[in-house]
């Protein structure tokens, strides 16, 4: 019957080397260890409890080689389906089992997924600045680091801090785009509150891209994230205004829950659209894919059911000529990033990979073998995912409550972040 092996133990590890991560560590009876990322930024303990209290007891003594069956067992057997907490927990189990299977086979995961379709995954970096001169300096720095594609975010005149801008006053000394979840002091931690002005944003952003194109020319792929802050007609207006600057994509222009909103945007602009980092299931995409309302799928392996589910989602996207743009900020642990890179290398319809280097403390906890060189990422040829967890190092960084910011309009109304 081929390779079968019993799951002997499963442990949930919570660690915070600069930011919070949740990792599932599965060990088989023959000593093979698999890791899965279950991090849900700002709601980490909810996933940890789901795993520890409800999932781990179901895993013990199961056959670690039965990945598809285990996925369906956890998804269908719970009755309560979908949702970020459930899908992050299932993703951790699924990714850990793929890690085990690839290690048992003695090959990197991408080989089990069909082998490499490319030599590396094109990655984009995050350049930002409070004003245009600072932004241009940030782009130059990213190009010097080897990036071939750049996400452009900028401060907005009149707003003290803007989510995604590294030097924003909300950053507290560290890069605000790398760790937007703010850590508080004392016994009660509350989300930071920021002001937002959509009309000012819509006026300002086209002038920013005009300056960037004047400085760096037409060839550099440029991306921009709207962080769900626009209505459909506002997003359509921005997409139209940005057409002269040939964006690689406009991301998360509207709140992701309203798939029909993308129809209106698509009617008014040819700027490519990307969405999905807050999605967690293929059914979140069915309208977007079948009607070709987007150009790039932005889900993360960590939040969308793991390698098994993401592969199915991306295969469905390929039917409609839609490419991948897997979510990859630093609230995806190196385990989740490695899983994404193995998929990137194997799938046919790869588009681009988001990449933000993790901190030295994080890489002390997660011993990672993937590499970034000449603008491309490669997951390495180490058997499995190519990431190992140093549990002793993880124990030196205890969990700290941290929450993403809340945005308010001038009248005090809570707005999308």
CATH no. for 6-109: 3.30.390.10
Please report where in the chains the tokens 């999605």 appear, as a residue. Answer: 279
Q: What Å distances lie between residue 68 and 31, 76, 400, CA to CA?
A: 22, 12, 34
Burial class (CB in 10 A: 0-12, 13-18, 19+), 415: middle
Among 204, 221, 216, 210, residue whose Cα is nearest residue 125:
221
Residue 163 is a catalytic residue: yes
Per-residue pLDDT 10s for the chain (417 aa) are: 466 899 999 999 999 999 999 999 999 999 999 999 999 999 999 999 999 999 999 999 999 999 999 999 999 999 899 999 999 999 999 999 999 999 999 999 999 999 999 999 999 999 999 999 999 999 999 999 999 999 999 999 988 888 878 766 665 556 777 777 777 666 788 888 888 899 999 999 999 999 999 999 999 999 999 999 999 999 999 999 999 999 999 999 999 888 899 999 999 999 999 999 999 999 999 999 999 999 999 999 999 999 999 999 999 999 999 999 999 999 999 999 999 999 999 999 999 999 999 999 999 999 999 999 999 999 999 999 999 999 999 999 999 998 888 889 888 888 876
Q: What is the pLDDT of residue 185?
A: 64
DSSP 8-state secondary structure symbol assigned to residue 384: B
Q: What is the pLDDT of residue 173?
A: 58
Q: What is the pLDDT of residue 293?
A: 97
Residue from 227, 228, 327, 342 carrying the catalytic annotation: 227
For residues 161 and 197, what is the distance between their CA atoms, to the nearest angstrom? Answer: 11
Residue 227 is a catalytic residue: yes
| Tokens linked to 407 | 């945005």
Domains 6-109 and 113-381 share a fold: no
Share of the chain residues as helix, strand and coil, in percent rounded to the nearest 5? 40, 20, 40
Residue from 110, 163, 176, 285 carrying the catalytic annotation: 163
Q: How is 61-129 classified by DSSP, letter by letter?
A: TSBTT-HHHHHHHHHHHTSS--SHHHHHHHHHHHHHHHHHHHHHHTSBHHHHTT--SSSSEEEEEEEEE
| Tokens linked to 353 | 């990979």
- Domains of the chain, by residue range, sit at 6-109, 113-381
CATH superfamily label, 113-381 = Enolase-like C-terminal domain (3.20.20.120)
């Amino acid at each position: 019957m081929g390779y079968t092996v019993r799951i002997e133990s499963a442990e949930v590890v919570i660690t915070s080397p600069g930011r919070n991560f949740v990792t599932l560590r599965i060990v088989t009876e023959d000593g093979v260890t698999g890791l899965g990322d279950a991090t849900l930024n700002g709601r980490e303990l909810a996933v940890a409890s789901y795993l520890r209290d409800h999932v781990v007891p179901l895993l013990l003594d199961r056959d670690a080689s039965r990945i598809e069956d285990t996925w369906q067992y956890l998804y269908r057997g719970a009755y309560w389906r979908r949702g970020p907490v459930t899908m992050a927990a299932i993703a951790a189990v699924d990714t850990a089992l793929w890690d085990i299977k690839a290690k048992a086979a003695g090959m990197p995961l991408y080989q089990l997924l069909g082998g490499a379709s490319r030599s590396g995954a094109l990655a984009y970096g995050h350049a930002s600045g409070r004003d245009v001169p600072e932004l241009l300096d940030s782009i130059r720095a990213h190009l010097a680091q080897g990036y071939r594609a750049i996400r452009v975010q900028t401060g907005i005149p009149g707003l003290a801090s803007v989510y995604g801008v590294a030097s924003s006053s909300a950053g507290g000394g560290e890069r605000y785009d790398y760790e937007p979840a703010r850590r508080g002091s004392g016994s009660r931690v509350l989300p930071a509150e920021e002001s937002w002005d959509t009309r000012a944003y819509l006026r300002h952003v086209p002038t920013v891209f005009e300056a960037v194109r004047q400085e760096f020319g037409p060839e550099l792929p440029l991306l921009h994230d709207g962080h769900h802050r626009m209505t459909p007609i506002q997003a359509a207006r921005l997409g139209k205004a940005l057409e002269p600057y040939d964006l690689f994509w406009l991301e998360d222009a509207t709140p992701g829950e309203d798939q029909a909103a993308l129809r209106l945007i698509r009617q008014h602009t040819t700027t490519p659209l990307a969405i999905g980092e807050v999605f967690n299931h293929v059914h979140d995409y069915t309208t977007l894919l079948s009607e070709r309302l987007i150009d790039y799928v932005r889900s993360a392996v960590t939040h969308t059911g793991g390698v098994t589910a993401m592969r199915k989602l991306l295969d469905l996207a390929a039917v409609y000529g839609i490419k991948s743009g897997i979510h990859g900020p630093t609230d995806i642990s190196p385990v989740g990033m490695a899983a994404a890179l193995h998929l990137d290398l194997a799938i046919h319809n790869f588009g681009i990979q988001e990449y933000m280097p993790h901190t030295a403390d994080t890489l002390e906890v997660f011993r990672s073998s993937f590499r970034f060189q000449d603008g491309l990422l490669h997951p390495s040829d180490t058997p499995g995912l190519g990431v190992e967890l140093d549990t002793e190092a993880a124990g030196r960084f205890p969990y700290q409550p941290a929450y993403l910011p809340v945005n308010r309009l001038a009248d005090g109304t809570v707005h999308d972040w």
